[in-house]
Amino acid sequence: MAMIGGGVLWATQVPVHGQYWASLAGPFVIVGVGTAFAFIPVSIAALAGVAEHEAGLASGLLNTSQQLGGAIGVAIASTITATHASALLRQGAAPAAALTSGFHWAFWACGAIGLAGVPVTYLLIRRDELAAAVASTAQKPPPAPAGERPRAGRAR
């Protein structure tokens, strides 16, 4: 989350007439790597301790939550961008400068939300439940290879 927030805040420095490779490639790479480091542990934590017969439901709820969160984030960011850019245009700012400034404000908001996720993560970790899930998983016998049937009396 720190990489996502930091990358988005880095994008607030993009100038009005900036070039992609010089201005945005770095923030996009940092946000992309941060997203991978955020989504995978969230998926693992969300599905830890879920019964095997409920795994599909839990995975569907996780994916739905991620999609809705993304949609809400885009709605917030685009509202901030459009509102600020419109205000600057009414004041006589150049369209490119108004739009860039609108994006800067949206990036500040998204970066702050991303960085706020760092302490929130530590508050929401369910250490006891995760430890119990790991312990129960470690006690399960490994599945038999395909085509091999368990024999009577064989310890698993």
Note whether 41 and 1 are within 8 A (CB).
no
Report if residue 154 sits inside a domain.
Answer: no
Note whether 67 and 39 are within 8 A (CB).
no
Report if residue 62 sits inside a domain.
Answer: yes
pLDDT one-digit tens code per residue, 19-66: 888 888 899 999 999 999 988 888 888 888 788 899 899 999 999 999
Residue 48 to residue 126: CA distance in whole angstroms: 10
Report if residue 144 sits inside a domain.
Answer: no
**Residue range of the domain that includes 42:** 2-10+24-46+57-137
Structural domains counted in the chain? 1
Report if residue 156 sits inside a domain.
Answer: no
Angle between helices 95-124 and 55-90 (to 10 degrees): 150
Report if residue 149 sits inside a domain.
Answer: no
Report if residue 90 sits inside a domain.
Answer: yes
Residue 20 to residue 61: CA distance in whole angstroms: 36
Report if residue 86 sits inside a domain.
Answer: yes
Residue 31 to residue 11: CA distance in whole angstroms: 10
Q: What is the pTM of this model?
A: 0.71
Question: How large a percentage of the chain has pLDDT more than 90?
Answer: 53
